[in-house]
Amino acid sequence: MNADLLTEKMVYSAAVAGIEWLKSQNPTEVKDLSRAIQALSLWGEATSDLIEVLISKKKDSFWETDKPLLDTSRAVSALAGCGIMHPDAVDWILRLQKNENWNDNEIDTSYALTALGDAGVRNEAGCEWLVCNYGERWEHVGTTSLIITALIKQDRDRYGKFIKDRAGWVLSKRQSGGWIYTATSNLAIQALILAGEEDIAPSIQWLLEKQDNGNWGDITSTSLSLISLRIYLDKLNSDLRL
């Protein structure tokens, strides 16, 4: 119990510093705006100004950037998490689906499926494409973590065996608590927590040690870290109530 409480205190302390740093930033890119909105909203912080900026960057039914599918998917997820739905953007994502997937790409498909899941839209064809085509060429921690998260958002029960197996593989690649890079480690931590893995504390400790002057290097990495800390605390508090 004492160890759990100490961990909780450390997490809150790191989160407070991270939140203050993030609030002092002025994100302008869709990716940064989306991640910041997700992070701050999870911690109960005001996001109306960031949401206004994000929506202002929408063109017709999508966000036109150098990576429109990824950024539109991120924006849809971020806004859905705040209870703001953009059906036209969801339809735009669906229209881009060809031969069950998006751009013949596992990462694009994972982001699209996650956004659809966050918007309450199920897409079995896309999920089946990921599961049926998964192989060694996709065996990267970040990629596999994105796939795990997408399948959980879509249909945890249907793909439970696959999720459990791949979560175990991700965990097996952990080194000294993390997975080398902060962004990759956050994707892994979030996927593992969502998948129900228990051995997460070493990775949270690793993440805390990577914080410097309240941040984790940039807006996206700091936002992802705050998201990881929030869902870890939610899991910790849920376990303590059992």
CATH number, domain of 76, equals: 1.50.10.20
Residue 238 is predicted with a pLDDT of: 79
d(C-alpha 189, C-alpha 168), whole Å: 12
- Which residues are within 8 A (CB) of 6 and not within 5 positions of it... i.e. 6 or more apart? none
Give the pLDDT confidence of 135-191 residue by residue, as tens digits: 999 999 999 999 999 999 999 999 999 999 999 999 999 999 999 999 999 999 999
Residue 4 is predicted with a pLDDT of: 58
Give the pLDDT confidence of 185-204 residue by residue, as tens digits: 999 999 999 999 999 999 99
Considering the domain boundaries, does residue 180 fall inside one?
yes
Answer yes or no: is pLDDT of 241 > 90: no
Helix 87-95, helix 106-118: angle, nearest 10: 150
Residue 1 is predicted with a pLDDT of: 41
Answer yes or no: is pLDDT of 242 > 50: no
Residue 51 is predicted with a pLDDT of: 98
The label of the residue with tokens 């994000």 reads 54
- Count how many domains the chain has: 1
Calculate mean pLDDT across residues 192-217.
96
Per cent of the chain over pLDDT 70 is 96
Q: Range of 184's domain?
A: 2-234
**Which one, of 38, 32, 19, 234, lies nearest residue 118 by Cα?**
38
User: How distant, in Å, are the alpha carbons of 90, 95, 147, 166 from that of 131?
Assistant: 22, 21, 9, 11
Considering the domain boundaries, does residue 239 fall inside one?
no
Considering the domain boundaries, does residue 242 fall inside one?
no
User: Which pTM does this prediction carry?
Assistant: 0.95
Q: How many CA atoms lie within 13 A of 177 on its CB side?
A: 11
Considering the domain boundaries, does residue 240 fall inside one?
no
Per cent of the chain over pLDDT 90 is 93
Answer yes or no: is pLDDT of 59 > 80: yes
Residue 236 is predicted with a pLDDT of: 86
Answer yes or no: is pLDDT of 69 > 80: yes
Please, which pLDDT band fits residue 7 given cuts at 50, 70 and 90?
confident
Mean pLDDT, the chain, rounded, equals 95
Calculate mean pLDDT across residues 104-122.
98
